[in-house]
Amino acid sequence: MELKTVGELKGSVEEIGFSADGKLLAASVGSAIKLWDAETFEERAVLLGHDRDISSLQFAPDGRTIVSGDANGVIKFWSTDQSPDPQVLRGHTGALREVAFSPDGRRLVSSSLDGTLRVWALSTGEEILSLKGHRGTTPATAFSPDGTQIVSGGMDRTVRLWDAATGALTKTLRGHTDGLYWVNFSPDGKRVISGGSGGQLKLWDVASGTELRTFADDASAVEGAQFTPDGKFVATCERTASGLVKLWAAATGELVKTFSGPKASYRCVAFSPDGRSLAVGVNSPGAASAVIWDVTTGELRALKGSGGRILTVGFSADGRRLFGAGDRGVISVWDTGNGDQLLTFDAQQSSIWCVKISPDGNTLASSGENGVIQLWETVQTSDDVHRQRRLTTTARRIVDERAQTLPFAADLILSLQADATLEPARREAAIRLATNRGDNPSALFAACQGVLVKSNASADALALALRQADTAAAILNDDAVISWTLGFAQFRAGKFTQALAAAERSNKLALAQSGTDHPAALLVQAMAHFRLGNVEKARSILAQAKALPASREDNETDRAAITQLAEQLIR
C-alpha cells in the first residue's frame, strides 16, 4: 500500500473526514478548514471564518457542504464547489458597480467609478459604445425593457437617459440631493426609479422627464428598490438594522405591506421572474447571507453559507436558483426551493457589486472592484466543473507562490511566460489569474490599507504599501480614497509634506464628487500637520474629522484604526 502525505499542517488538527463519495478530504487546523482532492491530494481550498478553534467538522451526505462548529458554539456551512474560469471583458479603468443585459441578451451595459458607461457585444466581447456625460463616478445603469434606451445614475445627482443604439444623451433628470447608486426601469419602460446615497427614492416619467413622486417620509433608510414584474409595486430594503422590506404602490406611493426578517441591514432586493418570491442580501456579517419571502404568505427562508456582506442578489430565469455576492469576492448559488447552497464561484477579487442573469438563463455577469466584467456559464457538466476547478486551483497556487516575491502583475506575468517547465494550460490559467489580480487600483489600495493601519507594521511592509499606493494612484489619479491612502502611505514613510498634499487633494476630490469632506483624508491631514509643527491646526482638523458621520465609502474598521493612530500622535 502506498502512503501519501498531504502536507505539514501548522496548528492543532482536531477533526478530519472524507466526503461520502471519497473524493474529498477535509481537516480542521485551528480555526481554519483545509480541503484536498482525495485522489491527487492537491489542496482545493482553505476555508477561513471561525474566530475560535474548530471542535467539530462533518460532510453533509451529498458531499457538497461541510458543517463546522467552534469553541464559541458558532456553526458554519461551507460549499465544496467552485466554478470554472469566466470570460473576461476589459476596458474600464475603475471599479465596476453595475452591469445589465439587453432584453435580447446580445449586449451588456456596465457602469463604473471611472465615470463612464460602456456597452459590449457579447458575441465578440468587444466594446461598442462608451457613454460619457456624468461628472464624477457613475455607479448605476439599466437597459429599458425594449432595449432602445439606457438609464444611468451618477454621483453628480443626475439621472440620464441614452439612446442605446447611438449612445446619444436624450434626457437629464435633476432633483436628487445626493449621489445616485441605483436606477431601474419599470417593466413597461414608461417609468424609472432611482435612489442615492442619502436614501432618497424618486419615480420619473420617461417620456416627459418629470418627477412623479418621492417615496416614503423617512427616506434616509432606503438602500435599494425594485419593481414587481407587473410594475404595480416597488419593494425597498433598508440599510438600518431593522430587518424590514417594504412594498409600495407605484401608482400612489402608499405603503401597502411590510416584510420582517432577521434584525440586519439589507443592501439589495430582487423579485423572482414570476413575482412570487422576494429576496434581499444581508449586509450585516454574522447574520444569514440572504433572505427569501413568499410575497403572498410572508413566509420567510433564511439562506446560509456565503459569509461576509451580500451586496447583490439575482434570480435565475426559471426562479429555481438565487445568486448572491459581496465583499468576500465569492458568488454563491442557492436552491430557492430548499435553501441549500449549491455552488460557490471564486471571482478572484475583493468585492462584487453586481450579478445579473442573461435572459436565456445561460450566462451570469458579475462586476466589482477589479474593474473587469466576468461572464460565467451557468450550465456546466460535473466533469467540466471538476476539470476546470483542478486547473484553477493549481494555477492559483502557482500565482500565490510567485506573488510572495513578485507582488505586481507585470512581474508575475513575465515570470510565467518565461517558465518553459509549466504545462501550457496551467501557464495560460496562471497568466489569466495574475492579470485579474494584478496592478488594479482597488486591489492595490485595499492591500496596502491593511498594512498602513497597523501601528507595528515593519519597514519592509510599509515600503511595499507605499509602492502599492503609488501604483494605484498612477492608474486612477482622480479617486478620493486612493489619494488619501497614498497620503497615509507617505506619512508612514516619513514624507509629511507629500502626505499633506495628497490628503488635501483627496478631500477636494471628495467635496467635488459628494459635496462632503472625507474623514480619512482629514485624519491624514491632521497627522501630517502635526509632524510639520502645525500643532493647533492638527488638533482642529482632528476634531473636524471625528465629528463627521460615517459615509458609504468608509471602512469602519480602517477609519477607527486611523483615528486611534491620529489620537495617539496628537494629544
DSSP letter (8 states) at residue 219: G
Long-range CB pairs of 564-568 (<8 Å, 24+ gap) are 565/453, 565/455, 565/527, 566/523, 566/526, 566/527, 566/542, 567/542, 568/455
For residues 258 and 242, what is the distance between their CA atoms, to the nearest angstrom? 11
Helix (H, G, I), strand (E, B) or coil at 366: strand
For residues 260 and 242, what is the distance between their CA atoms, to the nearest angstrom? 8
Are 39 and 115 members of one domain?
Answer: no
**430 within domain boundaries:** no
Tell me how many domains the chain contains: 3
Helix (H, G, I), strand (E, B) or coil at 95: coil
Are 61 and 94 members of one domain?
Answer: no
Domain residues for the domain of 11 are 1-80
pLDDT in the model for residue 7: 47
Residues 6+ apart with CB under 8 A from 21: 63
User: CB 318: neighbour CB atoms within 10 A?
Assistant: 12
Q: Which residue has the cell 449549491?
A: 342
**168 within domain boundaries:** yes
From 60, 80, 100, the end of a domain falls on: 80
Residues 6+ apart with CB under 8 A from 69: 54, 55, 56, 57, 75, 76
139: domain CATH number is: 2.130.10.10
Residue 525, C-alpha cell as written in the block: 491631514
Residues 6+ apart with CB under 8 A from 528: 487, 491, 496, 497, 499, 500, 503
User: CB 212: neighbour CB atoms within 10 A?
Assistant: 15
Residue 171, C-alpha cell as written in the block: 434626457
21: domain CATH number is: 2.20.25
**223 within domain boundaries:** yes
Are 282 and 299 members of one domain?
Answer: yes
Are 61 and 95 members of one domain?
Answer: no
Containing H/E element for 393?
Answer: helix 382-403
Are 6 and 113 members of one domain?
Answer: no
**pTM greater than 0.85:** no
pLDDT in the model for residue 203: 94
pLDDT in the model for residue 10: 45
Are 248 and 322 members of one domain?
Answer: yes
Are 91 and 73 members of one domain?
Answer: no
Are 156 and 245 members of one domain?
Answer: yes
**393 within domain boundaries:** no
CA 425 to mean position of chain CA atoms: 29
For residues 330 and 316, what is the distance between their CA atoms, to the nearest angstrom? 17
Helix (H, G, I), strand (E, B) or coil at 440: coil
Q: Among positive and negative, which fits the CA dihedral 378, 379, 385, 388? A: negative
pLDDT in the model for residue 16: 83
Longest Cα–Cα distance of the chain, Å, equals 79
pLDDT in the model for residue 503: 92
pLDDT in the model for residue 541: 92
Containing H/E element for 159?
Answer: strand 158-163
Are 221 and 329 members of one domain?
Answer: yes
For residues 491 and 31, what is the distance between their CA atoms, to the nearest angstrom? 35
For residues 388 and 264, what is the distance between their CA atoms, to the nearest angstrom? 36
Are 110 and 26 members of one domain?
Answer: no
pLDDT in the model for residue 74: 63
For residues 423 and 408, what is the distance between their CA atoms, to the nearest angstrom? 22
pLDDT in the model for residue 368: 87
Q: Which residues of the chain have pLDDT under 50?
A: 1-11, 83, 219, 381-385, 552
Are 123 and 70 members of one domain?
Answer: no
Are 271 and 124 members of one domain?
Answer: yes
Residue 142, C-alpha cell as written in the block: 439599466
From 341, 358, 380, the end of a domain falls on: 380
